[in-house]
């Protein structure tokens, strides 16, 4: 097959590209492509999606923005040491991790139009250099504090850059992202697809399942409280009361949407560095 006949490659531009989630995404995709791990829990690899037109995992090319400097291979080694990634996997997919790391550009801690333009230029350059048919921007950064300033929060700067670069946008976090009121007209006018306001992979996932079940069974939920214990980068980020409040707002929103009102109770998030990359939660 010639290069002209090859299926088009698709870019995945990760915001928070050197974090734990992004590292596991890149390592996991490489492992699945090489047949090193099964596609357990990956819905898009199940039969109902066989004719969906989604690109094969082997056609994905990764890049992203981050303010952190630890290279992806080193980050993967740390995650394997903590038991998050399988032992030996970082070495097996080191080339893929290094390739993605070369495509990570300096992130932002805030700014205006000029900063948005710089971020968008990085995405467009990535697409052009790698010959990509399109790029999807996915925010997997740590939850940011609730917006309270006059300008756009950082997550929304990245979202604005995605729109400026003509890219679909997915928000895997509770941060404002593209749903900031100031971006609503821009998002609608662009005609680009966008989705998400938290990936719901842990405690919030269980709430999203249990709360509708209680409602469908006509069971009154009088109170709902929860506790989260976590370490690592997320734990450090959520040690900021404002960031924890933003995270908890997303957890509360799930209950209110499913039950029609918010039950009594509170959710507590505690940074426990001794847990490393592990998390535990209960309701």
Q: Which secondary structure element, helix H or strand E, spans residue 203, and what is its range?
A: helix 203-216
Which pLDDT score, from 0 to 100, does residue 3 have? 52
What tens-digit pLDDT sequence spans the chain (283 residues)? 445 567 899 999 999 999 999 999 999 999 999 999 999 989 999 999 989 999 999 999 999 999 999 999 999 999 999 999 999 999 999 999 999 999 999 999 988 889 999 999 999 999 999 999 999 999 999 988 876 677 899 999 999 999 999 999 999 998 989 999 999 898 889 999 999 888 888 888 899 999 999 999 999 999 999 998 988 888 888 888 888 888 888 889 899 999 999 999 999 999 999 988 888 888 9
**Residue 271 three-state SS:** strand
Which pLDDT score, from 0 to 100, does residue 2 have? 46
Which pLDDT score, from 0 to 100, does residue 244 have? 87
Q: Is 9-195 CATH 3.40.50.720?
A: yes
Whole-number Å distance between alpha carbons of 122 and 255:
38
Whole-number Å distance between alpha carbons of 127 and 40:
30
Distances (CA, A) of 87 to 91, 150, 156: 9, 46, 36
**Residue 24 three-state SS:** helix
Comparing CA positions, the residue from 82, 27, 14 lying closest to residue 279 is 82
Q: What angle do CA 76, 274, 109 make, to 5 degrees?
A: 60
Comparing CA positions, the residue from 246, 9, 35 lying closest to residue 146 is 246
Q: In the CATH scheme, what is the code of domain 203-282?
A: 3.30.360.10
List Cβ neighbours of 210 (8 Å cut-off, separation of 6 or more).
283
List Cβ neighbours of 154 (8 Å cut-off, separation of 6 or more).
108, 109, 110, 141, 144
Annotated domain spans of the chain: 9-195, 203-282
Q: Which secondary structure element, helix H or strand E, spans residue 270, and what is its range?
A: strand 267-271
Asked if 146 and 242 touch (Cβ cutoff 8 Å), the reply is yes
**CA-based torsion, 176, 178, 184, 185: positive or negative:** positive
Whole-number Å distance between alpha carbons of 25 and 44:
14
Which pLDDT score, from 0 to 100, does residue 245 have? 87
CA 118 to chain centroid? 21
Beta bridge partners of 105: 65
């Amino acid at each position: 097959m010639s290069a002209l006949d090859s299926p088009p490659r698709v870019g995945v531009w990760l915001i928070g590209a050197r974090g734990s989630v992004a590292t596991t995404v890149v390592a996991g995709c490489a492992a699945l492509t090489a047949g090193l791990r099964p596609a357990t829990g990956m819905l898009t690899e199940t039969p109902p999606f066989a004719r969906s037109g989604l690109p094969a995992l082997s056609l994905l090319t990764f890049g992203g923005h981050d303010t952190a400097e630890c290279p992806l291979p080193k980050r993967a080694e740390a995650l394997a040491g903590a038991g998050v990634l399988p032992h030996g996997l970082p070495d097996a997919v080191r080339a893929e991790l290094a390739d993605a790391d070369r495509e990570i550009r300096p992130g932002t801690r805030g700014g205006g139009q000029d900063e948005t333009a710089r971020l968008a230029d990085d995405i467009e350059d990535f697409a052009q250099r790698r010959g990509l048919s399109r790029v999807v921007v996915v925010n997997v950064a740590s939850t940011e504090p609730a917006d309270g300033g006059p300008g756009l929060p950082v997550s929304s700067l990245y979202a604005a850059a995605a729109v400026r670069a003509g890219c679909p946008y997915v928000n895997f976090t509770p941060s404002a992202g593209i749903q900031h009121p100031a971006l609503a007209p821009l998002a609608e006018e662009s005609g680009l697809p966008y989705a998400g306001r938290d990936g719901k992979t842990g405690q919030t996932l269980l709430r999203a399942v249990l709360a509708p079940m209680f409602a469908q069974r006509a069971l009154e939920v009088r109170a709902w409280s929860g506790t989260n214990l976590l370490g690592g980068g997320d734990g450090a980020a959520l040690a900021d009361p404002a960031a924890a409040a933003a995270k908890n707002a997303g957890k509360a929103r799930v209950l209110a949407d499913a039950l029609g009102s918010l039950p009594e109770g509170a959710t507590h998030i505690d940074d426990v560095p001794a847990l490393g990359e592990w998390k535990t939660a209960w309701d």
